[in-house]
Amino acid sequence: MSTLWNHRYAQRTQRMTSSVIRELLKLTALPDVISFAGGLPGPDLFPVEEVKEATESVLETKGRVALQYSTTEGYAPLRDMICRHMARYGIVVDIDNILITSGSQQALDLIGKILVNPGDKLLVESPTYLGAIQAFTMYGAEYATVPTDDDGMVTDRLEDALRCGPKFIYALPNFQNPSGVTMPLERREALIRASDHYGIPIIEDDPYGQLRYEGEHIKPLVVLDAECLDCGHNGKYTGNVIYLSTFSKTLAPGLRMAWVAAPKEVINKLVQAKQGTDLQCSTFDQMVAFEVGHGGFIDRHVQRIRQVYGHRRNVMLAALEKAFPDRSLGVKWTRPLGGLFLWATMPDWLDTAELLKEAVNEKVAFVPGFAFYPCGGGHNTVRLNFSNARDEQIEEGIARLGRVVMRQIESHKSAAKA
């Protein structure tokens, strides 16, 4: 039945589809399903007491400021704290280079709003973060992809991909969502050289950088860019990279508190765009995040998160080793050095969207990888989250999934023989 609304929606809504992942999460949210589908941090690690104390303290000491409107750029002490925090990772920027956003998801949307014209090509990794595709597609983006392997974006293939003249490159160098892989320094340097040579800016999305479980921290793209262009002096960053990070994984995603670090002129544009969206992030929430975060709490808390998630990653790897068919049967998986996700590849003929239906019958769930390929592909891949389940759930869930995969492989073999 045609409704009053049908012909009133803006053209840009025509490419809007509800996230495949969110639809799937509905399927997998049944009480006895062990779900590796979401990208959820472990709620057992949320700093509930600290947030409670900070809330009381903010209301008692600065209640009338906290409940008032404030600047779009964000609460200055919080931006200052973020600058000091980033400096320890080599990112030297000034408070004027920082905008507070409602999650990195809003930053992606604002970037789409200020940079993307309908039909603009964006260069993304294949696979890439689905939320970014959703945000950019709303502004009419088209995509060109660079393949990834166990070391992230395959920079040898960049030149080819850059021929499409992209508006920008969207990259996730640390513990990528969805694949969990990390770009080594040489590839990061190659990416920066290409960006500089062709004059194509980079959006560096880094929500997981602090969640490293082994190995050494690798310089972010924004740092390599500042070194390459010699533009990080006096904390005034004027380079080619827009850097995004968030407190969603180090404090709690429900706070919706994240930031953009970028050249001041870009921040000014983003500020104008944000004014039209929501004027500002909640003054109160920003003050609470500052109250919780300052004085070294985040660092101490991150140590604990690393221990717990690092352990859960190990439990999942051991469970896969035990319960999954191996490489000789065409099944392999990544060994992420950090982050929340592990990525498994099944034999070519296996469709993981179909596999999910069987898996849900066995009361275990994952995200079929095709959802993360903006230009198609990945039908035989699977994203598995390890941060949100207890050890015994991980072991039991992977055992169930291993049985489902094994059954598929056996029946494929019998069909081939018949």
Ligand X SMILES: Cc1ncc(COP(=O)(O)O)c(C=O)c1O
Residues that bind ligand X (CB under 6 A): 39, 103-105, 129, 131, 172, 177, 205, 207, 246, 248, 253, 258
Which residues lie closer than 8 Å to 179 by C-beta, 6 or more apart?
127, 148, 152, 334, 341, 343, 383
Q: How far apart are CA 331 and CA 321, in angstroms?
A: 11
Q: Which is nearer to ligand X, 257 or 409 (CB)?
A: 257
Radius of gyration of the chain (CA): 22
Smallest distance, ligand X to C-beta of residue 75, A: 17
The least CB distance from residue 381 to ligand X, in Å, is 17
Q: How far is the CB of 348 from ligand X (least distance, A)?
A: 27
Task: Name the residue nearer to ligand X (CB basis): 172 or 224.
Answer: 172
Give the 3-state secondary structure of 154-185. Answer: CHHHHHHHHCCCCCCEEECCCCCCCCCCCCCH
Nearer to ligand X, 111 or 346 (CB): 111
Contact between 286 and 333 (Cβ < 8 Å): no
CB 260 within 8 A of CB 92: no
Q: Which is nearer to ligand X, 39 or 368 (CB)?
A: 39
Q: Residues with Cβ < 8 Å from 50, sequence gap 6 or more?
A: 292, 297
Question: Closest distance between ligand X and the C-beta of residue 248, in Å?
Answer: 3
Least separation in angstroms between CB 416 and ligand X: 38
Q: How far is the CB of 141 from ligand X (least distance, A)?
A: 16
Identity of the residue, 145 or 177, whose beta carbon is nearer to ligand X in the bound complex: 177
Q: Which residue is nearest to ligand X (CB)?
A: 103
For the chain, the straight-line distance linking the first and the last C-alpha, in angstroms and rounded, comes to 48
Residue 72 beta carbon to ligand X: minimum distance, rounded to whole angstroms: 18
CB nearer ligand X, residue 248 or residue 388: 248
H or E stretch covering 148? strand 142-149
CA distances for 380 relative to 119, 355, 359, angstroms: 29, 9, 14
Q: Angle at the Cα of 23 (from 17 to 28), degrees rounded to 5?
A: 165
Q: How far, in Å, CA of 311 to CA of 316, rounded?
A: 9
What minimum distance in Å lies between the beta carbon of 163 and ligand X? 26
CB-wise, 206 or 395, nearer to ligand X?
206
What string of DSSP letters covers 238-264?
-SSEEEEEESTTTT-GGG--EEEE--H
Nearer to ligand X, 92 or 258 (CB): 258
